[in-house]
Amino acid sequence: MARAGETVEHPLAGTRIVFLRTAHDTDGELLELDVYMRGGRRVPAEHVHPYQEEKFEVLSGTARFRVRGQERGVGVGEKVVIPAGTPHVWGNPGEEEAHLIAELRPALDLETWFETFFGLAKDGKVNPKSGLPNSLQWAVISREFKDAFRPAQPPLLVQKILYRLLAPIGELLGYKARYPEYSGPEEPKEGRASEGLSMGILAGIVVAVLTLLLLGRRVRPGRR
């Protein structure tokens, strides 16, 4: 669980986040962040917060936002409000570090998403070019945090199909949406055990079917 004052960092994106107020502090109403981004860097992917309004204010440096395809430069003292469900991405086009305050309402579980995503990046478990985890890890994360974060592309229906197929396989191989080394011990949630068992069974079936298909292609009928 994130706590006020804690910091997470994504080295490839040149971004450091300090949690100012968390879901615990605000009874789930607000997640407030200090965001620092080095010059010439940007968020790895255009994305959507399906149910959260996001508000930025630039405290120092400059930032450039693309919101629903429209680009805008933002300077010190200016604010950007991004309605829930709006595709957006942003970066720092300047040379000096940019410092922004970000507010997301409601908080949901986005702070845990940040801990996982940034933790994997800091440990070198992401693609060095894209800054993103591999497809199985990404599927596990995206399915778990679908209400707080999703990529703008591919289309939502395609994402749902891919995550339904890939996430159980990823879990079977040990990938998680939340790691204790990044977020601390997890509080037990009702129904999580049975859900995990169901996903494990489904993943086992998928792997078994794929194995049979591969074996079937290799086996040739003998001569009579």
pLDDT of residue 219: 46
Query: Model confidence at 128, in pLDDT bands (50, 70, 90)?
Result: very high
Summarize pLDDT for 58-88 with one digit per residue, the tens.
Answer: 999 999 999 999 999 999 999 999 999 999 9
3-state secondary structure the chain: CCCCCCEEEECCCCEEEEEEECHHHHCCCCEEEEEEECCCCECCCCEECCCCEEEEEEEECCEEEEECCEEEEECCCCEEEECCCCCEEEECCCCCCEEEEEEEECCCCHHHHHHHHHHHHHCCCCCCCCCCCCHHHHHHHHHHCCCCCEECCCCHHHHHHHHHHHHHHHHHCCCCCCCHHHHCCCCCCCCHHHHHHHHHHHHHHHHHHHHHHHHHHHCCCCCC
Q: What is the mean pLDDT of the chain?
A: 88
Helix axis angle, 156-172 relative to 135-144, nearest 10°? 110
Summarize pLDDT for 28-60 with one digit per residue, the tens.
Answer: 999 999 999 999 999 999 999 999 999 999 999
Mean pLDDT of the 95-112 span: 97
Query: What's the topology of domain 7-110?
Result: Jelly Rolls (2.60.120)
Summarize pLDDT for 157-194 with one digit per residue, the tens.
Answer: 999 999 999 999 999 999 999 999 999 987 655 544 44
Range scoring the smallest mean pLDDT among 22-31, 70-79, 116-125, 203-212: 203-212
pLDDT of residue 223: 44
Report d(CA 45, CA 54) in Å as an integer. 16
Mean pLDDT of the 143-170 span: 96
Report d(CA 124, CA 39) in Å as an integer. 21
pLDDT above 90 for 22: yes
Going from N- to C-terminal start, the domains of the chain cover: 7-110
Task: Classify residue 98 as exposed, middle or buried by CB count within 10 Å of its CB (0-12, 13-18, 19+).
Answer: buried
Going by DSSP bridges, is the β-strand pair 47-48/53-60 parallel, antiparallel, or unpaired?
Answer: unpaired
Phi, psi of 115 (to 5 degrees): -60, -45
Mean pLDDT of the 98-110 span: 98
Mean pLDDT of the 110-114 span: 97
